[in-house]
Amino acid sequence: MSTIPNVPYRLEFSVEVPGTPEQVWQAIATAKGMSAWFLPTEMEEREGGSLHFTMGPEMGSDGQVTGWDPPRRLVYEEDWAALMGKDPEALSPLTSEFLVEAQSGGTCVVRVTSSGFGTGAAWESEFWEDMGPNWIPFFDNLRLYLSHFPGQEATLLEATASHPGDAQAIWATLSNALGLGAVGEAVEVRGATGRVERVAERQTLVRLTAPVPGMLSIFAYAEGDSTATAGVRAYLFSADAEDYVRREEPAWRTWLQGLTVPA
C-alpha cells in the first residue's frame, strides 16, 4: 500500500491558568516567559521574528513567529523537516497556535493547537502519538509558574543519564530512589523539599520550596529499543539559583549515572 501525501495531524487541548491575559501573554510569548516553564527559548517578539527552542546539548528547533496579536493570539512555525532530518519538500512546518481567553475570577483559558502535514509515513504517526504525552505536561508547569512565580526569570538545572534497560524499569528505580509520592504529598528530593504537583506516566512534577523555590520535573523515557534515559529539569526562581545550579547540576548528573537498574 502506498503512503498518502499531505495527511493532516492535529493536537488540540486547553488549560485554565491563573492570571490576567497580559500575565499569560508574558509567559507564552516572550523568551523569558517560555524559558521559565518550557524549554530554553530565544525569540524575536514580533510577527516574522525568529524562534529557537533548545532541546538538548546539540539539538534544537528553529522557527518563526507567524501570528502576533498581544495578548490574545500567538502562532509560530517550526522547521519540522530540519528537526526530523527529512526532505524539506516532503513535510510542511509544524504550526502551533495559542489563544488566550480571559475568564471571570482572574483566570484565563489557553487553547493550544499544533498541526502539520506530511507523507503519512509510520514515523510520523508515532511522532504525533508521542507529542501529546510529551508536550501537554509542560502546561502543568505553566499553571504552576503563573500561580507562584509570574513574571520571574528562571535559572535552569538539567541533568540526564542513559542506562541499558526499558524506561519503565528505570522510572521505577528513579522514583523509588527519590521517594516520590502521590499528588499533594510533601517530599524531600536529594536535600530539596517540596510538594508533588503532578504524577504522570514516568514523570513527576514537584514544586520546590527550599533551599531554592522552583519547579522540579523528574522523568524517564525510552531511547531506542534497549536504552532509556533518567533525568531532571528544574526551573529555579531565586537570586541564589545560579550558585545552587553550579553546585547541584554536576551532583545530580553523578547521582543519575550511579543508579542501579535491575536487569
Indicate the DSSP class of residue 85: T
* Same domain flag for 25 and 127: yes
Question: What CATH number should be reported for the domain holding residue 194?
Answer: 3.30.530.20
Whether residue 263 lies inside any domain: the answer is no
Residue 14 contacts residue 100 (beta carbons within 8 Å): no
User: Is a pLDDT exceeding 80 seen at residue 3?
Assistant: no
Q: What is the pLDDT of residues 132-188, one digit of tens each?
A: 888 899 999 999 999 999 999 999 999 999 999 899 999 999 999 999 999 999 999
**Is residue 4 pLDDT above 80, yes or no?**
no
Residue 66, H or E segment: strand 59-69
Distance CA 182, CA 17 (A): 22
Please compute the mean of the pLDDT values over residues 32-61 and round it to a whole number.
93
Same-domain pairing of 26 and 91: yes
Q: What is the mean pLDDT of residues 59-84?
A: 91
Could you tell me if 120 and 168 lie in one domain? no
Whether 1 is in a domain gets the answer no
Q: What angle do CA 70, 54, 39 make, to 5 degrees?
A: 55
pLDDT tens for each residue of 98-140: 999 999 999 999 999 999 877 777 777 888 888 888 889 999 9
* Alpha-carbon span 138 to 112, nearest angstrom: 12
Instruction: Tell me the three cell numbers of residue 1.
Output: 500500500
The answer to whether residue 3 sits within a structural domain is no
Do residue 143 and residue 184 come from a single domain?
A: no
Least confident stretch, 37-51, 54-68, 98-112, 188-202: 54-68
Give yes or no: residues 49 and 166 share one domain: no
Question: Cell numbers 499569560 correspond to what residue?
Answer: 24
Start-to-end CA distance of the chain, whole Å, equals 40
Q: What pLDDT was estimated at residue 161?
A: 95
Average pLDDT over residues 183-211: 96
129 and 91 housed in the same domain: yes
Domain C-terminal end among 148, 181, 205: 148
**pLDDT above 50 for 1:** no
What pTM does this model have?
0.91
Do residues 118 and 95 both lie within one domain? Answer: yes
Last residue of a domain, one of 125, 148, 171: 148
Average pLDDT rounded to a whole number, residues 62-76: 97
**Statement: residue 6 has pLDDT above 70:** no
Q: What is the pLDDT of residue 2?
A: 40
Question: In sequence order, what are the beta bridge partners of 171?
Answer: none
Largest Cα span, the chain: 59
Domain contains 111:
yes
Instruction: Answer yes or no: do 140 and 164 share one domain.
Output: no
Q: What is the mean pLDDT of residues 75-92?
A: 79
| Whether residue 130 is found in the same domain as residue 160 | no
Of 102, 120, 148, the residue at which a domain comes to its end is 148
**How many CA within 13 A on the CB side of residue 152?**
21
Does 25 share its domain with 142? yes
- Confidence (pLDDT) at 193: 97
Share of the chain above pLDDT 70, in %: 97
In a domain, 79, yes or no: yes
Together in a domain, 162 and 142: no
Pairing of strands 186-189, 7-18: unpaired
Which region among 10-14, 29-33, 39-43, 126-130 has the lowest average model confidence (pLDDT)? Answer: 126-130
In a domain, 2, yes or no: no
pLDDT at 5 over 90: no
Q: How far, in Å, CA of 220 to CA of 44, rounded? A: 32
Residue 76 has pLDDT above 50, yes or no: yes
- Rounded mean pLDDT, 218-226: 88
Question: Directed axis angle between helix 21-28 and helix 138-148, to 10°?
Answer: 130
80 and 141 part of one domain: yes
* Domain that residue 159 falls in: 155-257
Structural domain includes residue 225? yes
pLDDT at 58: 79
Residue 73 has pLDDT above 90, yes or no: yes
Q: Which tens digit of pLDDT belongs to each residue from 240-255?
A: 999 999 999 999 999 9
- Which residues have C-beta within 8 Å of that of residue 148, sequence separation ≥ 6? 207, 213
- Domain count of the fold of the chain: 2
Would you say residue 24 lies in a domain?
Answer: yes
